[in-house]
Every structure is written in C-alpha cells, then in structure tokens.
Amino acid sequence: MAAVPDTVAKLANAGFEVWVEQGAGAAAHFADDAYRQQGAILANGVDRLYEGADVVLKVQAPIDGEVERIPEGAVLVGLLQPARNAELIDALAARKVTALALELLPRISRAQSMDALSSQASLGGYKAVVLGAARLDKIMPMQMTAAGTIPPARVFVLGAGVAGLQAIATARRLGAVVEAYDVRPAVKEEVQSLGARFVELPLGTAEGAGGYAREQSEEHLRRQRELLAEHVASADLVVTTAAVPGRKAPLLVIADMVAGMRPGSVIVDLAADSGGNCELTEAGVERDVGGVTIVGIRDLPRTVPVPASQTYARNLTNLLVYLVKDGELTLDFDDEIVKGCCVTHGGEVLYPEPKASLAATSAGGQP
Ligand SMILES: NC(=O)c1ccc[n+]([C@@H]2O[C@H](COP(=O)([O-])OP(=O)(O)OC[C@H]3O[C@@H](n4cnc5c(N)ncnc54)[C@H](O)[C@@H]3O)[C@@H](O)[C@H]2O)c1
C-alpha cells in the first residue's frame, strides 16, 4: 500500500486531503476504518478516487486504462520502472502528468528517508534468507547435542548492496557461516562488520556512478563465474541479489555451477524479476534441478505486506512533505532530489536525460 493509517495522519497534518480506495489495504490487514479514523476519505471505486486528485500515490506503475484517469497536470509518485516502461512514460507526458519515479531518487543522505528501493530491498534480503532456510534440508546454526555436533549451514550471498547486506545479517543471526561477494570492493568492510567473509576475486573493480555497479563485459562475467564456482559449490544456501540499475541482471550462476552443488541445497534468486542471476531461475517459480531447489520468487516484499507498506508509505510521505513549501506543493528542478526522479513534466519526457529548459522552473499547486 502507498498509504497506511499513520501516513494518512501525517499527510493530513501537512495539509493534504487524503483519499484511499475502499478495501485497498485489506491484503496487508489495514482496515478501511483505520484509514477513516486518521482522516482519510474512502472512495468506492477508482473513478471517484482519481477524480480531482492533485497527487496520485501508487506502488507500481499505472496499468492499462489508468493513465487516462489521472487528472491532467497531477503529480504521480511510485515505482514506475522508467527503464522498462518507455510507452508509459510517453503516455504520462502526453497527459501532462508530473511523474516521479522512486527508482531514480538519488542515493544521498538527505533522501534516505524517501528511499523506497532501500526499504523494500532490505525486506527482500531478510525474506530471501528466511525462505531459503525453510527450504533447506539442514538447520542454519551449529548445535552441540548429546547426539553429537551439527555443523552450521554455509550461506553464500552474491551482491552485497542493500538486499545482500540484510541477507548477510539475517543469515548470521540464524547462525550460519556466511561468505559474500560483490564487484564493488567498497562493501568489503560492511560485509566483514556483519561477521561474514568477503570473497575477493583478482578481477579489478566495477564501481559505477552513484555508488552502483556498472555493467561488465561478457568476458569479465565469464571469468567471474569460473572463480565463483567453488564458493557456490560449497554453499548450502546461495542468495543472489546482484543488479545493475536499468539493465538485465548479471548472470553469475550457470547450469554447470548448479550441477556442482550438493543435492538438498537451495538458491534464492532475488534478481528473478530482472532476468535472474542464475541461469536456471524461472521468475515466479520454485523448481528442483538435480536436487537443488531454485526459488525464483518475484517481488519478495509483497510476502511481508505489513512492513513493506509501512516503510513504502513512509518513503512516499516523506517525499511529499518535503515537496511542500509554504503550504504549496513545489517542484524545484534545481533540487537534485526532484531533478533525479522526475521523468515527465509539462508534457516533456525527462528520462533518461533531463532537458536543460527545465532548470529553475517550478510546478505548483495547493496540497
Ligand atoms: N547514501 C544513501 O543514502 C544510500 C542509500 C541506499 C543505497 N546506497 C548505496 O547504493 C549502492 C547500491 O545499492 P543497491 O543495493 O540498491 O544496488 P543494486 O540493487 O543496484 O545492486 C545490488 C548489488 O549488486 C552488486 N553487483 C552488480 N553486479 C554484480 C556482479 N556482477 N557481481 C556481484 N555483485 C554485483 C552491486 O554492486 C550492488 O552492491 C550501494 O553503494 C549502497 O550503499 C546509498
């Protein structure tokens, strides 16, 4: 949900009149009455919901027939995936919608409270390990019992960004022995501080802009896979989280590497939605390949809807409240937060490159 009862109250305090679709919070166990108590107006049906809206808060990008419902000139905020949705972005521009794509929010300290990628990735990293542990034919911690010692499970985390670090922390808390690898050597200390071993490969770095990884050549990836194979083979649970913004996920675990794993071991591929880090991942499917369970579950935060909605709704609210200056919703295109995530405005498409003509212009409206 893009709003929870707490954030409705916060938005109301900031001067917004908040409308919520009836029953929309039910799957995350947020009742209509709880929204009402915090001042929301419940709309029966989406037509009424969109009518007259100045701001539309969503989780995912609009689907068929939704763009036409957004009032012209309104502000739309959500995870719009502009890199995959060129047609949608054109349609939003044609509708003169000001669209803010949260994926493009700069990863800077003052935007941290609005950072939906981080809040959701962190939940995904946690859930990937819990899911993997439940599928595993072993337990995670070492146990010393009267019947002898049970060794701890070995977990290998590929990609140590926000999701990967949370996966490492969760696996450590469950008592596993954890190794992790990332192309950005800058994460080594963070990995070690969580009690995991950082796997270093003699391949050079692949640090790109904004603290993200950059795409690597096929030859680099091939060499990487060769060197990673032994670590994958010795792991009971492999959690893959590697991503390059706007690109297909890098292929890190090929079929041969899966064949080298112990039957009973598990791969949870968090990159399933963007092509998978494992060659045998099928998005949305859990499969058994030679005794190895490969979990290609999509959109893991959806499986923990309460904290996913609470944190996502707070991210949106923090952004919106930030944009209110002197009681007016104001978009300052000199501000790197606005400039970073605004993909359409005033009929123009600003993604991937913002047009210079927009510098120092602003869009206003009563909250
Ligand atoms: N300052 C802030 O406010 C802030 C907030 C959130 C994140 N960040 C930074 O953003 C960066 C990335 O965040 P993310 O988790 O959203 O990234 P992401 O989801 O794009 O990628 C996940 C991880 O995969 C890694 N990766 C890419 N290709 C790989 C490969 N071939 N092999 C192994 N690993 C590979 C990336 O380096 C990254 O660590 C980090 O530096 C993080 O610290 C900063």
Amino acid at the residue 57: L
> Do 278 and 224 lie in a common domain?
yes
The residues that are catalytic are: 107, 112, 115, 118, 212
Say if residue 152 is preceded by a cis peptide, omega within 30 of 0. no
Q: Do 212 and 316 share a structural domain?
A: no
What is the 8-class DSSP label of residue 291?
A: T
Q: Is 244 in the pocket of ligand 1 (CB under 6 A)?
A: yes
For residues 49 and 65, membership in a common domain is answered with yes
The vertex-326 CA angle with 321 and 328, nearest 5°, equals: 65
Q: Are 161 and 342 in contact (CB under 8 A)?
A: no
Based on the domain organization, do 14 and 145 belong to the same domain? no
Q: How would residue 363 be classed by pLDDT, with cut points 50, 70 and 90? A: very low
Q: What is the Cα–Cα distance from 25 to 35, expressed in whole angstroms?
A: 9
CATH code of the domain containing 170: 3.40.50.720
CB 260 near ligand 1, within 6 Å:
no
Q: How far apart are CA 216 and CA 212, in angstroms?
A: 12
Residue-number span of the structural domain to which 223 is assigned: 121-302
Residue nearest to atom 42 of ligand 1 (CA): 161
For ligand 1, atom 8, name the residue with the nearest CA: 107
Which of 302, 322, 342 delimits the end of a domain?
302
Give residue-wise pLDDT tens across range 215-254.
888 888 999 999 999 999 999 999 999 998 888 999 999 9
pLDDT 10s digits, 254-291: 999 999 999 999 999 999 999 999 999 999 999 999 99
State the total domains in the chain: 2
* Contacts of the segment 29-33: beta carbons below 8 A, 24+ positions apart: 29/305, 29/306, 30/1, 30/4, 30/5, 30/309
Q: How confident is the model at residue 364 (pLDDT cuts 50, 70, 90)?
A: very low
Instruction: Check if 245 has its Cβ closer than 6 Å to any atom of ligand 1.
Output: yes
Tell me the two tokens of residue 232.
């994958």
Q: Are residues 62 and 126 in the same domain?
A: no
Same domain, 144 and 38: no
Q: Quick one: 210 and 351 in the same domain?
A: no
> CB–CB of 341/80 below 8 Å?
no
Distance (Å, whole) CA 258 – CA 279:
9
CA 4 – CA 28 distance, rounded (Å): 9
Smallest CA separation from ligand 1 atom 7, residue: 107
DSSP 109-156: GGGGGG-HHHHHHHHHHHHHHHHHHHH-SS-SS-EEETTEEEPPPEEE
Same domain, yes or no: 103 and 154: no
Do 184 and 139 meet the contact criterion of CB atoms below 8 Å apart?
no
Counting from 1 in the atom list of ligand 1, the atom nearest the Cα of 216 is: 31
Cβ of 135 less than 6 Å from ligand 1: no
Q: Which atom of ligand 1 is nearest to the CA of 163?
A: 15
Our answer on whether the CB atom of 160 is closer than 6 Å to any ligand 1 atom is yes
Say if residue 84 is in the same domain as residue 131.
no
* Residue 161 CA, ligand 1 centroid: distance in Å: 4
Assess whether 42 and 78 both reside in one domain: yes
